[in-house]
Amino acid sequence: MLHIIACCKWVIDEVYIKRGRGEEIDFSSVDWKISDYDRHALEEAVRIKDSLGGKVTVLTVGAENAVKGMKDMLSRGADEGCLIKDESFARLDPAVTADIIAHAVKSRLSPYDLIFFGDGSSDLYARQVGPRVAAKLGISCLTGVRKIAFKDGYVEAERSLEREIEIVQAPLPVAITVLPEINTPRIPGVKDTLLASRKPVLNLSSCDFPDYTVPAVRTVAIKAVRLDRGCVFFENNAGGISSLVEELKKKGILS
């Protein structure tokens, strides 16, 4: 029986982010959601389970408010959850996040066959966690996957590159990061949401990770982008083009 792990992140919904005074960003009224990219990872895990059998464990690492996110994740077809929450996990960098996930998979969720990740997270989009977890576990990692097929004991995947599609194979167990084009995530119904609260969840905290280290990368500030418009107009002729070039040279854009 396949054991599939889908890793999802509970992130701020950017729709609710407002600009404050100057370069300040107002997070006072934000809501949270499953990272858009990770929804595709969870959906693919559930589709494979529905097709081939097995079970899906959805795993998330975050602060205390990730409890709400776990219920949302379970409502989307996962069989069980692994909730790793602690206020000290609110601002983890990809390296520490990968260490925590790898430790949890080794100590609590083994054996496993597939570990799914989104192509990146909606907030940082560092695209590091999947490959780092695979390296920690000593398994193969397929990135940028748009289609998956199963053969005898291995996975065949299509990877989107800049100018071509690459078809690769890897033995199980394997870590896979998926692109949004791989599927369309389901929208859970009322029944799915109600059943989610009855599914088993393994709760872990920082106490379960004695080797946990403080993130090496620290976010000092988040500022809004400021766009100043000069409102300089140029004629649509040779003279206007020359004036545009001179203006760009003055601003140091052209040399």
Mean pLDDT by 10 residues, the chain (255 residues): 96 86 82 96 97 96 94 97 94 92 96 97 92 97 96 91 93 97 96 96 92 78 77 88 89 83
Pairing of strands 201-204, 80-85: parallel
The answer to the question of residue 101 being in a domain is yes
**Alpha carbon of residue 127 to chain centroid:** 8
pLDDT for position 153:
83
Contact present, 143 and 116 (Cβ < 8 Å): no
Nearest to 201 by CA among 11, 94, 69: 69
Do 240 and 133 share a structural domain?
A: no
Do 244 and 194 share a structural domain?
A: no
Do 237 and 146 share a structural domain?
A: no
Do 250 and 130 share a structural domain?
A: no
Contact present, 119 and 37 (Cβ < 8 Å): yes
pLDDT for position 94:
93
pLDDT for position 8:
97
CA distances from 115 to 6, 33, 221 (A): 6, 21, 33
Please list the residues that pair with 170 across neighbouring strands.
Answer: 155
Do 177 and 89 share a structural domain?
A: yes
Contact present, 67 and 85 (Cβ < 8 Å): yes
* Residue-range definition of the domain harbouring residue 246: 228-255
Do 204 and 97 share a structural domain?
A: yes
Do 91 and 48 share a structural domain?
A: yes
The answer to the question of residue 178 being in a domain is yes
Nearest to 5 by CA among 101, 116, 104: 116
The answer to the question of residue 223 being in a domain is no
pLDDT for position 61:
96
Query: pTM for this one?
Result: 0.85
The answer to the question of residue 213 being in a domain is no
Do 241 and 199 share a structural domain?
A: no
Name every residue whose Cβ is closer than 8 Å to that of residue 100 and which is 6 or more positions away in sequence. Answer: 61, 84, 89, 92, 209, 212
The answer to the question of residue 221 being in a domain is no
- What CA–CA distance (Å, rounded) separates 221 from 223? 6
Do 78 and 168 share a structural domain?
A: yes
Phi then psi for residue 95, to 5 deg, are -65, -45
* Concatenated DSSP letters of 5-56: EEE--EEE-GGG-EE-STT-EE-TT--EEE-HHHHHHHHHHHHHHHHH--EE
Count of domains observed in the chain: 2
The answer to the question of residue 148 being in a domain is yes
pLDDT for position 30:
87
Q: What is the CATH number of the domain that holds 109?
A: 3.40.50.620
Phi then psi for residue 100, to 5 deg, are -65, -45
- Find the length of the chain: 255
The answer to the question of residue 155 being in a domain is yes
pLDDT for position 73:
97
Do 253 and 198 share a structural domain?
A: no
pLDDT for position 26:
83
The answer to the question of residue 30 being in a domain is yes
- What CA–CA distance (Å, rounded) separates 76 from 80? 11
Do 248 and 152 share a structural domain?
A: no
Do 249 and 196 share a structural domain?
A: no
pLDDT for position 46:
98
